[in-house]
Amino acid sequence: MTDDDDGAAVFLIEARELQSAIERNLLDLSEAPGDRALIDALFRDIHTLKGSGAMFGHVDLAHFLHGFETAFEALRAPGRTASDALINVALRACDQITALLDDPAAARAGNASLIESLDAALGGGDAASGPHPASAQATPAVAPAEDGWRISFSLGPTALGLGVNVPALLGELKDLAPDAVRIACETGALPGLDALDPACPPFVWTVEIAADLDPARIDEVFLFLRDDLVLEVTSLAEAAAPESVAETPQQTVASAEPRPSELPPADVPAEPAPATASRQRERSTMRVATERLDEIMDRVGELVIAESRLHDLSMALQSPALMAVAEDIRRLTSGMRETTMSIRMLPIGNLFSRFRRLVHDLSDQLAKPIDFVTAGGETELDKTVIELLNDPLVHILRNAADHGIEDGGARAATGKPRQGTITLSATHAGAEVHIRIHDDGRGLDDGQLRAKAIERGLLPANSQVTGPELYRLIFEPGFSTAPAVTELSGRGVGMDVVRSVVQGLRGQIDVDSEPGHGTTVTLRLPLTLAITDGLLVEVGGERYSIPVAAVEECVELPPDLALGAGRSNFLNIRGDLVPFLRLADVFETPGLRPDFQKVVIVAGSHGRIGLVVDRIVANAQTVIKQLSCIHAGLKAFSGATILGDGTVALILDVGHLIALGTAIEDRARKRKGAA
């Protein structure tokens, strides 16, 4: 890949980030229509994307953004605020930016109509003039100080290499006051061919703007270019009086000499300028392809397996020197694993922010006022998991808006606020992250769900099942209670997709609902899909791994319970009754049990349970491997790992085992009550 290809790829990444920032600021502006800081931030993002697009040859994008920026200029007039109609058109313009990035040729036809819609939403007229119209007639180079500016700049040694586009830059300056600009280029004394540097041409461009112009607008043109240019901005009055040494309204940013290479070394300032500091922060980060991170994680996983083999070998040989080396390697491997995993972890707030636009559009489409609230955006999750969560969350949010939230009139009739609320939150829970989607709508109708399930043959005709067991049926393929098929729902496909993706991530879904008060969908997902710490246990001669983050403590099974015939019972743990499962019975493992069995107490979102094992082997770093399609239906296991001796150990799905134990106890209580 050439440097140009690399630059174009980086541009596309940054362009999509800027598009997201523009959309985010527009949604913020819809909540605070007169916020000047938001309007200024919008202009900066649009302006930056326009300049970058022109720099990398995205001419259609640059032209569209120029029109977008020009139309929006009217919003800077004192007293102007953003209307709902303007926000909606501007959001469509954001979609057009994405289309122009994806396929410029196919998307360019929509540019003109969108700009016209923006003009119409702003009330028509020449938005470019803004609150301070420029003089309609060009003036001479010398003008009163309050009537214009003189801008001189030359290229720094790295400017062309970084893609600074001089014609585009001059065009932006001319657009500030199209009829009041004069542009000149001075060459000075040209160096000989031997001294000529093609990366730093010896030209000084001078732009005189004879108009009463806010210097902040000139600042915006050079916002991200100050480090790459030698720039001077002075008033026209001062430019006409060379003897003057008074301070200009706009401070000189750098010397006006045309050749930066001839400047004497300058002292390093104690505090970098804001633009410079920003660039330093940008240069302290690096974009890395996901494939490379995946490859590093695979290598670290193999290293963990090799370290485990070395540890087993050192124990077998009982060599103190080898044991010391094995321990050092274990420590280094553990640190490398944690560092590599931390690189893959991203705050889930980046994902959550995408859904503001979705809920905003659903609110308009359904004519339901909906407030969208997020919490826990700082919670970190594996990048792969975050990428796969987009579609499931879209389906759940659409269902919440369409089926959950009532219209304003129905809500008011039941004493609720007319505006509904959908809350999307994330929290850590041991080795899991829990993502909850809650709406304060009508809740699920048990009777309607049960009738639909009986109609489709999912429940017997006399079934009286309620609660979570009934709610799980909404994830069955084709299951829907919608009276009609619409663009949003009714085909019973979305929630089936949700379950498939979450199960593919080794996660689980819980649904809880209260009639009249709303519904909560909880996704329980593992922190990472790669490597974790595990507690190795043995049952019937087979070894299993339990995620350490789910383990609370280990105790010995009391002798009076060791020979119990039931598949479950209770332990008294410091006054708390904790149910336990005998894994030998659950897995139907033959053979005699040892006299002293151990109980591993594990906890999850549904409570805690004891897992009875024959013995506890050791703590071990676990490289998680997906189960084959043949074994994918074994719900008690979330994956497998390779041990140091080359054997395979299955990783227990703690959440499923807790649910299994709870279900067994519930059935036992019902049988006891019936008796």
CATH number of the domain where residue 213 is located: 3.30.70
Task: Spell out the residues 6+ positions from residue 171 whose beta carbon is closer than 8 angstroms to its own.
Answer: none
Same domain, 583 and 498: no
Single out the residue in 526, 551, 572 at which a domain terminates. Answer: 526
Q: Which residue numbers in the chain have pLDDT < 50?
A: 124-145, 243-283, 490-492, 565-568
Same domain, 170 and 249: yes
* Residue 517 identity: H
Residue 186 lies in a domain: yes
Q: How far is CA 609 from CA 150, 394, 546, in A?
A: 77, 34, 13
Residue 414 lies in a domain: yes
* Residue 639 identity: G
Residue 274 lies in a domain: no
Looking at residue 415, its pLDDT comes to 92
Looking at residue 413, its pLDDT comes to 92
Task: Spell out the residues 6+ positions from residue 663 whose beta carbon is closer than 8 angstroms to its own.
Answer: none
Q: What is the CATH number of the domain that holds 569?
A: 2.30.30.40
Task: Spell out the residues 6+ positions from residue 664 whose beta carbon is closer than 8 angstroms to its own.
Answer: 567, 568, 579, 581
Same domain, 296 and 394: no
Domain span at residue 437 reads 348-526
Secondary-structure percent of the chain, ordered helix, strand, coil, rounded to 5:
45, 20, 35
Looking at residue 520, its pLDDT comes to 94
Same domain, 352 and 342: no
Say what the pTM is. Answer: 0.65
CA–CA separation, 174 and 166 (whole Å): 12
Looking at residue 305, its pLDDT comes to 83
Residue 371 lies in a domain: yes
Same domain, 522 and 577: no
Looking at residue 674, its pLDDT comes to 60
Same domain, 401 and 466: yes
* Residue 477 identity: P
Same domain, 457 and 545: no
Same domain, 426 and 502: yes
Same domain, 45 and 151: no
Residue 268 lies in a domain: no
Number of domains composing the chain: 5
Same domain, 499 and 512: yes
Residue 563 lies in a domain: yes
Looking at residue 548, its pLDDT comes to 86
Cβ 611 vs Cβ 580: under 8 Å: yes
Same domain, 151 and 241: yes
Q: Which DSSP string corresponds to 607-623?
A: EEEEEEESEEEEEEEEE
Residue 20 lies in a domain: yes
Single out the residue in 492, 526, 560 at which a domain terminates. Answer: 526
Single out the residue in 129, 162, 186 at which a domain terminates. Answer: 129
Q: What is the CATH number of the domain that holds 377?
A: 3.30.565.10
Looking at residue 311, its pLDDT comes to 85
Same domain, 122 and 63: yes
